[in-house]
Amino acid sequence: MKSESLVRLTDRLTGIAQGGLTLFADCRDEIGTIAAENGREKSGVGTP
């Protein structure tokens, strides 16, 4: 009985963690894109 609820809890936490990681990866991609664009402007790459 106790181990069954533990398995369910673990499954739930795993699902939450995977959802969080997916969200984090999406946010990181967005931030990386924005940072790359800002970095290019600030460093002056591409300007003579």
pLDDT at residue 8 in the model: 94
* This prediction's pTM: 0.46
Which pLDDT tens digit goes with each residue over 7-42? 999 999 999 888 888 888 888 888 888 888 877 666
φ, ψ at 45 (rounded to 5°): -65, 135
Rg (CA), the chain: 20
pLDDT at residue 46 in the model: 54
pLDDT at residue 33 in the model: 85
Q: What is the phi-psi region of residue 45: left when phi exceeds 0, alpha when psi lies from -120 to 50, beta otherwise?
A: beta
Asked if residue 46 lies in contact with residue 40, where contact means CB atoms within 8 angstroms, the answer is: yes
Is it the case that residue 45 has pLDDT exceeding 70? no
pLDDT at residue 5 in the model: 92
- Dig out the tokens for 40 from the structure: 């290019």
pLDDT at residue 43 in the model: 58
